[in-house]
Amino acid sequence: MIITWPTILSIIKKIIDISIVWLIFYVILKNIRNNVKLSLLFKGVIVIIALKLISDFCGFTTVGVLLEYIIMWGPLALIIVFQPEIRNILEQLGRSQLLGRHKVLTVDERERLVYEIIQAVDTLRKQRIGALLVLERDISLGNYIDKAKKIYADLSSDLLVSIFFPNNPLHDGGVILQGDRITCAGAVFPTSSNGKISKRLGTRHRAALGIVEETDAIAVVVSEETGRLSIAVKGELFYNLSLDDVRMMLIDELKPKQEEEIDEEELEEEEIYEENN
């Protein structure tokens, strides 16, 4: 078989075509995974498709007709009902950085970041001063930064405490951290409508959970009423944590993905070694 230039170009085009499709699917699925509401929606669609296949296989006529109507008109209904979430995911696709964080922190920078945050929240909890710190990761928080008061300052515990000090105009909003810098203060985040949250928790906790339901950010909350510490991450709220718990969770969540994979491999090797011995 003689390989000509048109044949080679045709093969290259097909490879590029398939790669682009896979990249689109990867980005969409990645953003769906980081958005709790859309991930639940995606699971619901999978369940409906599975039920349709089962009904066709078993010959359930009535169920099959109903599911056909749902599949036919469902996309239009979903666009109308979930319009805000779809708009947010499209905005995130535009703002997300495909190659990861805008800045990968070194070990020393991560340690300093965690140290300054722990020092700040320790002071805030002792004085019963409410606070909300949001750490940006892969998904950009530019939409919230644009509407907040820009600071662009080096991170320090003293600056964080002064921002949340009572009677400060920025006291009620949240602070967004990008890398090891304070980007803005007074940020307003969407509040979660999750019915599982305790009614005793206030707006800060609901805002912390709301932002991590839509993005992959990390939110640290100091309760103004009780001084208790909480962390919201990956669509979950961990309430009433100790200072050491907060420190360890931040260290673990701020690890680059490559380090996480290495740690998992080392853990698997240790388990295999223990089993063999």
Sorted by where each begins, the domain ranges of the chain are 5-95, 107-258
**Residues 6 or more apart from 203 whose CB is under 8 A from it?**
191
Query: What are the strands, taking DSSP E only, across the chain?
Result: 131-135, 149-154, 174-178, 181-187, 218-222, 229-233, 236-241
Tokens of 34: 């980081």
Indicate if the alpha-carbon torsion angle 113, 115, 118, 120 is positive or negative: negative
Using only the alpha carbons of the chain, give its radius of gyration.
23
CB–CB of 144/176 below 8 Å?
yes
Give how far the C-alpha of residue 277 lies from the chain's centroid of Cα atoms, to the nearest Å: 40
Average pLDDT for consecutive 10-residue bins of the chain (277 residues)?
74 87 76 65 81 84 82 78 66 50 72 95 94 91 89 92 89 90 93 80 90 91 93 91 94 74 55 61
Max CA distance (Å), the chain = 80
Predicted pLDDT of residue 164: 93
The per-residue pLDDT for 90 is 65
| HSE-up (13 A, CA, CB side) for residue 34 | 23
β-strand 174-178 against 181-187: which pairing, if any?
antiparallel
| Per-residue pLDDT tens digits for 135-177 | 998 888 888 998 899 999 999 999 999 999 988 888 888 999 9
What SS3 class is residue 91? helix
Query: Whole-prediction pTM value?
Result: 0.64
Instruction: State the CATH class of domain 107-258.
Output: alpha beta
Residue written as token pair 């944590």: 241
Q: Going by DSSP bridges, is the β-strand pair 131-135/174-178 parallel, antiparallel, or unpaired?
A: parallel
What is the distance between the alpha carbons of residues 111 and 161, in angstroms, rounded to a whole number?
19
